[in-house]
């Protein structure tokens, strides 16, 4: 029941959210706007992976969610470091 | 019963993530957008991971979900703080309806130090963010 519900309702909602964020990633006037949009896209991607693990009954995908969270944190920190360094 | 609670949790999580995406589209300012993208999307992911933990109901899955939640709660504020600080130094403008900017004139743009710490000369440097409307 949760699996069909997730396939019909939850995954489309999350896809729409990722597409809206992609619009901000393309439009964003400055570089930090784009970095924030990219960070939000990876956070939404963690949610998509968790919902996918529920829908297809594959609990091994939660490991992927953990690793994606780690890598996206490092990526955002690196972007912030170089954006701040570029102003000196 | 557990399935029903999992469905409620996953609905709440998806709603929070959709709201954060709408906020990133609609809000006028980088800093306001950052408040939408950090807090509500983290809460949404936490609810979806809790739904996964309730749905699978195994010890390994529950421990992974709790580890992911703890990691998100630790890293999301740190990443947002670093990004907001970098954007403020980069001169990203505030929204024109902003009433208070307590950091204006307090940062030394050369050394990136606050006034009050060692070696900071805040009065000599101009802040690149725009003037605050005081009315």
B113: Cα separation from own chain's centroid: 22
Cα–Cα distance, B1 to B61 (Å, whole number): 19
- B8 close contact with A: CB closer than 8 A: no
Q: What pLDDT does residue A83 have? A: 87
Q: Return the biggest CA–CA distance within chain B.
A: 65
Cα–Cα distance, A24 to A36 (Å, whole number): 9
Q: Where are the domains of chain A?
A: 2-85
Q: Which chain B residues have a beta carbon less than 8 Å from that of A10?
A: 10-11, 14
Q: Which of B48, B22, B24, B47 is nearest to B35 (CA)?
A: B24
Question: Across the interface, which of A6, A40, A59 has its CB nearest the CB of B56?
Answer: A59
Residue A9 Cα, gap to closest chain B Cα (Å) = 9
Question: Across the interface, which of B60, B67, B78 has its CB nearest the CB of A66?
Answer: B67
State the complex-level ipTM: 0.90
Is A11:A48 a contact under the CB 8 Å cutoff?
yes
In order along its 135 residues, chain B shows pLDDT tens digits of: 888 999 999 999 999 999 999 999 999 989 999 998 999 999 999 999 999 999 988 899 999 999 999 999 999 999 999 998 888 888 788 888 888 877 777 777 666 677 666 555 555 445 555 444 444
Cα–Cα distance, B32 to B36 (Å, whole number): 7
Chain A contact probe: residue of B86, B93, B129 with most A CBs at under 10 A: B86
Express each pLDDT in B3-17 by its tens digit. Answer: 899 999 999 999 999
């Amino acid at each position: 029941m949760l699996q069909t519900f997730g396939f019909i309702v939850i995954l489309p909602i999350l896809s729409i959210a990722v597409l809206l964020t992609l619009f901000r990633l393309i439009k964003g006037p400055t570089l930090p706007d784009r970095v924030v949009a990219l960070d939000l896209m990876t956070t939404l991607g963690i949610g998509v992976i968790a919902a996918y693990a529920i829908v297809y009954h594959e609990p091994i995908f939660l490991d992927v969610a953990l690793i994606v969270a780690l890598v996206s944190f490092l990526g955002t920190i690196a972007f912030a470091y170089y954006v701040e360094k570029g102003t000196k | 019963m557990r399935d029903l609670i999992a469905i409620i949790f996953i609905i709440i999580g998806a709603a929070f993530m959709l709201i954060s995406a709408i906020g990133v589209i609609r809000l006028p300012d980088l800093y306001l957008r950052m408040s939408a993208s950090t807090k509500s999307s983290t809460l949404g992911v936490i609810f979806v991971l809790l739904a996964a933990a309730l749905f699978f109901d195994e010890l390994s899955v529950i421990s992974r979900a709790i580890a992911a939640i703890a990691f998100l709660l630790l890293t999301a504020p740190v990443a947002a703080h670093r990004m907001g600080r970098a954007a403020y130094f980069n001169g990203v403008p505030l929204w024109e309806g902003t009433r208070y900017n307590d950091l204006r004139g307090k940062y030394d743009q050369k050394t990136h130090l606050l006034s009050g710490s060692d070696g900071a000369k805040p009065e000599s440097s101009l802040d690149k963010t725009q003037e605050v409307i005081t009315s």
